[in-house]
Amino acid sequence: MARVRERAKMRSTVRAGSGAAARGPRTLYDKIWDAHVVRDYDDGSSLIFVDRHLVHEVSSAQAFEGLRRAGRTVRRPDLTLAMPDHNLPTTARTGADGRRLPVADPQSAAQLDALARNVAATAIPYFDATAPEQGIVHVVGPEQGFTLPGSVLACGDSHTAAHGALGALGIGIGTSEVEHVLATQTLRLNRSRAMAVRVDGTPGFGVAPKDVILAIIARIGASGGIGHVIEYRGSTFDAMSVEGRLTVANMSIEAGARAGLFAPDERVFAYLKGRPMAPSGAEWDAALAQWRTLRSDPGARFDKSVAIDATAIAPSVTWGTSPQHVVPITGRVPSPDSFADPVQREAAARSLEYMALLPGQRMEDVAIENIFIGSCTNSRIEDLRAAAAVVRGRRVAAGVRQALVVPGSGLVRRQGEAEGLDRIFREAGFEWREPGCSACLGMNPDTVPAGERCASTANRNFMGRQGPGARTHLLSPAMAAAAAIRGRLTDVRTLMAEAGMGETQMGEAQMGETGA
Amino acid sequence: MTLIRVEGRAYPLGRANVDTDMIIASEWLKTISREGLGKGAFAALRHDPANVFDDPAFAGAAILIAGENFGCGSSREHAAWAMADMGVRVVIAVSLSDIFASNAFKNGVLAVCLPADAVAHLLDAVRGGAGIAVDLEAQAVRCGGRTFAFAIDAFRRRCLMEGLDEIALTLADAEGIAAHEGRVAVDAPWLAMAGRRA
């Protein structure tokens, strides 16, 4: 006990130094930040402790190399978890004889080998390509209970923001910072500003969490969140599943934000209970008591606030090459002239040229050759269920050249198979793949050919993102499924009505009634 | 590599939302080295024959001028490595993605934010043949007879000017890190280890 008191005393001394006490009511972000300050520097930056570090093959090789050259070691391999995801082909990984199949691309193979060697040399826990738990880092972290409320989690990937769905501060970093975390288990950061994004109301039939985050990005713009950490608040999110919140938090970076946070609630606690790396027994009870304090105090000040009415959100799709280029599926391609700002006007004109779209064209008339259901944004079991509900008993349209379903992890894949989702997709003409980042980013064999379009559940519609000249339309899993069935961008509500599907088969899994 | 003053030509790129896929395509991310990425820099924009990077008037520029939200998207440090490898030491933009700015500083590339009207002036002047002087010590950009002051994080400024090894600086605080680890073990033992429990 004496030791505990001494620690507590030491902690309060440290926190008084961080200036937290003087600021009055604190935001959730403040609380997580304050609890992780190792040291405040005179120049305004702080040394922040990193509780969890996810490592993948693309952003880590040069970091490990840097450590080796400087003669440094990994400080806390026990707080680190590694797996391959970006580069890994999503085709079969073992042959009929059970033997491991080689990765054909020599550069990818070398990078994947480098990760395996680096984690072996540093004793970092590792899910290799054939481990049942392997998957996309941002799917696996929450799924394993590696991600916990109130923690600071870093990863050399911008979509680390996703972990904010569980109330963890997920910080995306570059390779130099990966090296810094490996060597010191800390990051030297400046405190971001706080932004509240409030969404209230029960979204309409067929509206998915993806539509909610696209609406948010459209509203605040692709740079609206720069320098800020977003806290998502409001009845729409209270009623949203944890997996839905993962989709929302994931794309915080597409609004320019440093991170996105949800105050953890009973849904999060129920989601985490029993996960392999989550606490259990008495430790679980102690954790729970602390996690329940993780919310912004009444009266906490946000530097910026935005409010959105969920009932006004429609199933949506992007038309351009920035995630802020969003229209309802029932809408039309905007005219560049409709943008007042000359820079935005020029960008819109360039986007339309790249996307081969004309102002005024109906979004529902846009033909699609590729379908991608996957990525760290939308590859969890609820996403696959929502897409399968639309696909069930139907066929992929003749004009669709490739239709991929890529589960976010080996466990999601198995769960999908246990529920028969793989059969629904395969019978309709989809390919059911092994877990990985796949066609989100064009650095493994899953790419979109130049000039072709892809209806994609991923997070970026940048020029060339899915391959040079590829044209990407972002949308929800159910909307991607609808596009596959019709061979063009399609209002999923039409297909749902045809099939006599109600809320219970569709939206409810991710978006409950808010009672608002 | 230290950086105090950079003078000369600049690439007048402009544009909003230049993302890191545009700066370096994912195909280049398979490398396990930091070297040689300049060859792939801005490949997506170089399809356009009128692009600023292949215009002899700007050849060899060490400064790049862009619009809003430069470096948005992926956290790939390869974008900063590619720009440093092609000789760019300073990026001036209306706004910059947080992760890109951090990556740039860690690779000796100064990232400066200036208001939209200042950036518009720089773009016009540079397109008209003017040179630019960026002075990190004075925190000022000079071009075409005008001077624009810029704000910069004190730690980043010092790191650039003195070429500091950030990891060595942090490791000097190893005791503070260990003390924090001790506190976590008592206050939040569930965070003190991440391994499989059962």
Q: What is the pLDDT of residues A166-180, one digit of tens each?
A: 999 999 999 999 999
pLDDT at res. A502: 66
**Domains (range + CATH), chain B:** 5-164 (3.20.19.10), 165-198 (no CATH)
Whether residue A353 has pLDDT greater than 60 = yes
Whether residue A5 has pLDDT greater than 60 = no
Q: Which residue of A has its CA nearest to B75?
A: A158
- Mean pLDDT (chain A, rounded): 94
Q: Which amino acid is at A256?
A: G
Domain membership of residue A126 (yes or no) is no
* β-strand pairing of B132-135 with B140-143: antiparallel
C-alpha to C-alpha distances, B123 to A351, B15, B56, nearest whole angstrom = 22, 11, 17
Domain assignment of residue A428, given as a range: 316-490
Whether residue A510 has pLDDT greater than 90 = no
The answer to whether A185 contacts B176, with C-beta atoms less than 8 Å apart, is no
Using the Cβ of A456 and the Cβ atoms of chain B, whether some distance falls under 8 Å is answered with no
Give the mean model confidence (pLDDT) for residues A263-278: 98
pLDDT (tens digit, 9 = 90+) per residue, A121-166?
A: 999 999 999 999 999 999 999 999 999 999 999 999 999 999 999 9
Kindly state the percentage of chain A with pLDDT values over 90.
91
Give the mean model confidence (pLDDT) for residues A209-232: 98
pLDDT at res. B171: 97
Q: Which residue of A has its CA nearest to B186?
A: A4
A104: Cβ–Cβ under 8 A, 6 or more apart, which residues?
Answer: A89, A445
Domain membership of residue A111 (yes or no) is no
Query: In chain A, what residues touch B186 (CB-CB under 8 Å)?
Result: 3-4, 7
Domain membership of residue A356 (yes or no) is yes
Using the Cβ of A267 and the Cβ atoms of chain B, whether some distance falls under 8 Å is answered with no
Lowest-pLDDT choice from A6-20, A247-261, A378-392: A6-20
The answer to whether B170 contacts A464, with C-beta atoms less than 8 Å apart, is no
Element (H, E) at A11: helix A2-17
Q: How many CB pairs under 8 A join A and B?
A: 221
Give residue B11's pLDDT band: very low, low, confident or very high (50, 70, 90): very high
Q: Coil, helix or strand for A210?
A: helix
C-alpha to C-alpha distances, A25 to A22, A117, A139, A290, A416, nearest whole angstrom = 9, 47, 33, 18, 44
pLDDT at res. A3: 42
Whether residue A381 has pLDDT greater than 90 = yes
Q: Which residue of A has its CA nearest to B159?
A: A43
Domain membership of residue A251 (yes or no) is no
pLDDT at res. A515: 54
Give the mean model confidence (pLDDT) for residues A212-233: 98
Q: Give me the half-sphere count of Cα atoms (radius 13 Å) on the Cβ side of residue A200.
A: 7
Give residue A10's pLDDT band: very low, low, confident or very high (50, 70, 90): very low
Residue numbers of A between 127 and 166 with CB closer than 8 Å to B: 146, 148, 150-151, 156-158
Whether residue B196 has pLDDT greater than 70 = no
pLDDT (tens digit, 9 = 90+) per residue, B90-109?
A: 999 999 999 999 999 999 99
Q: Give me the half-sphere count of Cα atoms (radius 13 Å) on the Cβ side of residue A146.
A: 28
Q: Which residue of B has its CA nearest to A440?
A: B26
Whether residue B125 has pLDDT greater than 70 = yes
Using the Cβ of A52 and the Cβ atoms of chain B, whether some distance falls under 8 Å is answered with yes
Q: Which of A44, A174, A277 sits opposite B99 (nearest CB)?
A: A174
pLDDT at res. A11: 41
Domain membership of residue A449 (yes or no) is yes
Query: In chain A, what residues touch B197 (CB-CB under 8 Å)?
Result: 276-280
Give residue B27's pLDDT band: very low, low, confident or very high (50, 70, 90): very high
Q: Coil, helix or strand for A320?
A: coil
Q: Of the candidates A229, A237, A231, which has an alpha carbon nearest to the alpha carbon of residue A256?
A: A229
Strand order from edge to edge, sheet including A431-432: A431-432, A402-405, A370-373, A453-456, A471-474
The answer to whether A347 contacts B21, with C-beta atoms less than 8 Å apart, is no
Give residue A499's pLDDT band: very low, low, confident or very high (50, 70, 90): confident
In this predicted model, which residue has the larger pLDDT, A40 or A511?
A40
Q: Which of A151, A183, A222 sits opposite B171 (nearest CB)?
A: A183
Structure tokens of B37? 């990425």
Give the mean model confidence (pLDDT) for residues A73-86: 98
pLDDT (tens digit, 9 = 90+) per residue, A433-488?
A: 999 999 999 999 999 999 999 999 999 999 999 999 999 999 999 999 999 999 99
In this predicted model, which residue has the larger pLDDT, A16 or A508?
A508
Query: In chain A, what residues touch B154 (CB-CB under 8 Å)?
Result: 43-44
The answer to whether B26 contacts A256, with C-beta atoms less than 8 Å apart, is no
Q: How many domains does chain A have?
A: 1
Using the Cβ of A23 and the Cβ atoms of chain B, whether some distance falls under 8 Å is answered with no
Is the ipTM beyond the 0.85 threshold? yes
Residue numbers of A between 169 and 198 with CB closer than 8 Å to B: 172-177, 179-180, 183-186, 188, 190, 192
Query: In chain A, what residues touch B193 (CB-CB under 8 Å)?
Result: 78-79
Give the mean model confidence (pLDDT) for residues B68-80: 97
Domain membership of residue A501 (yes or no) is no
Q: Of the candidates A245, A240, A247, which has an alpha carbon nearest to the alpha carbon of residue A514?
A: A240
Give the mean model confidence (pLDDT) for residues B20-29: 96
Structure tokens of A433? 């793949």
Using the Cβ of A282 and the Cβ atoms of chain B, whether some distance falls under 8 Å is answered with no
Q: Which of A10, A43, A287 sits opposite B190 (nearest CB)?
A: A287
Domain membership of residue A483 (yes or no) is yes
pLDDT (tens digit, 9 = 90+) per residue, A93-114?
A: 999 999 999 999 999 999 999 9
The DSSP code sequence of chain B is ---SEEEE-EEEEE-S--BHHHHS-GGGGG-SSSSSGGGGTTHHHHTSTT-GGG-GGGTT-SEEEE-TTBTBS---THHHHHHHHTT--EEEES-B-HHHHHHHHTTT-EEEE--HHHHHHHHHHHHTT--EEEETTTTEEEETTEEEE----HHHHHHHHHT--HHHHHHTTHHHHHHHHHHHHHH-HHHH--S---
Are the beta carbons of A171 and A32 closer than 8 angstroms? no
Give residue A377's pLDDT band: very low, low, confident or very high (50, 70, 90): very high
Whether residue A12 has pLDDT greater than 70 = no
Query: In chain B, what residues touch A81 (CB-CB under 8 Å)?
Result: 194
Give the mean model confidence (pLDDT) for residues B149-171: 95
The answer to whether A38 contacts B80, with C-beta atoms less than 8 Å apart, is no
Give the mean model confidence (pLDDT) for residues A209-215: 98
Domain membership of residue A368 (yes or no) is yes
Residue numbers of A between 284 and 303 with CB closer than 8 Å to B: 284, 286-287, 290
Query: In chain A, what residues touch B74 (CB-CB under 8 Å)?
Result: 157-158, 441, 460
A341: domain CATH number is 3.30.499.10
Q: Which amino acid is at B158?
A: R
